[in-house]
Amino acid sequence: MTDRIQLPSIAPAVESDAVVRARALARLRWVSAGLIALLAAVGARGVQLSLLPSERTLRTAAVQRWDTVTHRARRGQVFDRNGHRLAISVATPNVLVDPTLVGASEVAGLATRLSDLLGLAPEVVAQKLSLKSRYQRLALRVHPAVAAEIGAIDHPAIWVERETRRYYPEGTLAAHVLGFVDADDDGREGIEAALDRYLRGGVVLEQRRRDRRGMNVDDPSPTTEPNAGMDVHLTLDRSIQRITEHALARAMERSAPLSASAIVVHVPTGDLLALANAPTFNPNELTDDALSRRNHALQDAIEPGSVFKPFTIASALAEGVVRPDTLVNCEGGTWFVGRSRIRDDHPSGILSVSEVLSQSSNIGSAKIALEVGADVLIGYLRAFGFGEETGLGLPGERSGFVRPADRIRPIELATTSYGQGVTTTPLQLAMAVAALGNGGILMKPRLVTRVEDVHGVPEVVQQPEAVRRVVSKDIADAVIDMMETVTEPSGPAPLGAVSGYRVAGKTGTAEKVEDGRYGDGRIASFVSLVPAEQPVLAIVVTIDEPSVGSHYGAQAAAPVSSEIAAGSLRYLGVPPSGGGAVDPLTQIKPEVPREELRVAWMGDGWQMPDLSGRLLRESVRVLEPAGLELTLRGSGRVIQQTPIAGTKVPAGGHVSLVLR
């Protein structure tokens, strides 16, 4: 048996109360000293941060205290040639709410009050007020008077914020030319897209304060004018555009086509005075209807039909192949080119070249084309602008199609002569017709005259531009004389005539290609020059598949052209034929209204305006804002100015005017 070893017990020494108390007191002193030192350090650091904050501290405080809001400055405006606004940007109020600041007991009463003001269902408003969100839009683009009443509610959860909205004062007018902007204020289609880099405003950063809960306490109201977009001035005339659109609207009712388009060109300059399509759309109220937004005038490459014949005949006359009185055998109404047959809708006998045009003989036109030859005819057609874009600058323009001369067969050359097997846009057609009225000179279509900033300083200036001479004036005049017989009472299109004016016109009725073959659809068209003796306007009208009444150009399209021409000539004040025709756009209606004259700062000096013919009072009013030293001699109207118009005068410079 193992013996157990007994260990002695170890009892801790008992310390006296005085020792324990002394040790605890020492520890307390050390802890207290540490806390005091820490508090002193924190206090010192606080004083330092308050009185001498570091850059990092300031940035951090700014982030916590301030909120940065990004705005885009006002988008530039779009004007017609006479200064009428076609597109502007306006500030519109939006009603916003922070549901986290709305108590449960407040929802019902607040929802009722807001629904009455905003015209919304109370349950819809109540639902938004009950969401677990700090930002909800109750209503967008409310009336300013309603916004004022909302602001008067004086509830921390509700506020009114203003944003810029694109607005088109004329509604549907020139919608296809103007285009529209999307939700981000970026241009989509038309001028809005083509000149977006000029129209869009700069970016403005606006800071506003936030409270301790992170809520904004300032209503941002940035000053955006310094970064505002540039203004665009168009060649369109609001009145002529309205006349054109009304005529197309009546054509849609009368003929019920798929679509229609019309273009009015100022012959001497190539300015587009009107470009319209139907159906149209309202850029203020966009829909998903793609057809209504299609710009048929430059996005549809169509077979032109018989409106192509004047250019075939002009080519033959220019080459001396025929004369206006040259006879062409068109007997029988049928003629074969190889195995292919060419027919005339209205069979004739032996016709002069002039009668080939007026009676629209396919056989006569084909024979003339084969006599001219492929190289020459195709060369002239391309010189008239067919087969290439016009350079207008709007998105989506088509180039059309003209067969190469070295790969065209005789039958294809024959059909090309009367507008079959070749495609063109109504815009190309309008510029080619205008070239005949302009003495044979093709002009580049002009839609924009200038782009200028908010101070009136021009960034872009476009002058009328001649592309090339296609035929001589004598040849062009001879073709116009032939076209004039088309609208005579005994001609094929008397409905295209305009009372009191001589009209040179040409009809067209083209078959539409469907699934690679010519189908039953027709495109009716009519081109005209008015007044014929000194053309001011070139007009092209196309009607796609008229389903009611006649589908011929003489009945479906010619009356539309007549209505546009009559209204436009009366508006412009063009004297009736025989009364001494003048160009009203340069002699009666100046491109820039006189009240728009101003002196513009160019960055390094004031650009002098043209003061010739101005009264003394008007001249002083124009120059006064620039603070220039002015010397006057004489009275009446300005006959001489120094420096001359367009030159720069430094700040505080001297200007001398001579008046008589």
Query: Which residues are known to be catalytic?
Result: 306
- Among the listed residues 44, 322, 75, the one whose alpha carbon sits nearest the alpha carbon of residue 178: 75
364 CB-contact burial (10 Å; exposed 0-12 / middle 13-18 / buried 19+): buried
**Residue environment code for 298-336, b if the CB has 16+ CB neighbours within 10 A, otherwise e:** bbbbbbbbbbbbbbbbbbbbbbebbebebebebeebebe
DSSP for 129-165, please give it. HTSS-S-EEEESS--HHHHHHHHTT--TTEEEEEEEE
Enumerate residues 6+ apart whose C-beta is below 8 A from 332: 347
Distance between alpha carbon 150 and the CA centroid of its chain, in Å?
35
Tell me 407's DSSP state.
Answer: G
> For residue 540, what are the β-bridge partners?
263, 527
In angstroms, the CA 476 to CA 11 distance is 134
CB of 323 closer than 8 Å to CB of 496: no
In angstroms, the CA 75 to CA 230 distance is 7
Tell me 8's DSSP state.
Answer: P
- Among the listed residues 212, 208, 176, the one whose alpha carbon sits nearest the alpha carbon of residue 194: 176
Enumerate residues 6+ apart whose C-beta is below 8 A from 284: 167, 168, 171
CA distances, 96 to each of 22, 126, 378, 502, 510 (Å): 67, 14, 64, 63, 57
Number of H helices, E strands in the chain: 22, 28
CB of 511 closer than 8 Å to CB of 480: no
In angstroms, the CA 411 to CA 418 distance is 12
In angstroms, the CA 305 to CA 311 distance is 12
In angstroms, the CA 136 to CA 118 distance is 15
CB of 483 closer than 8 Å to CB of 506: yes
In angstroms, the CA 272 to CA 257 distance is 24
> Helix, strand, or coil here: 250?
helix
User: Two tokens at 403?
Assistant: 């067969």
- Among the listed residues 484, 516, 509, 514, the one whose alpha carbon sits nearest the alpha carbon of residue 497: 484
In angstroms, the CA 166 to CA 620 distance is 36
Q: Which helix (DSSP H) or strand (DSSP E) does residue 450 occupy? A: strand 448-452
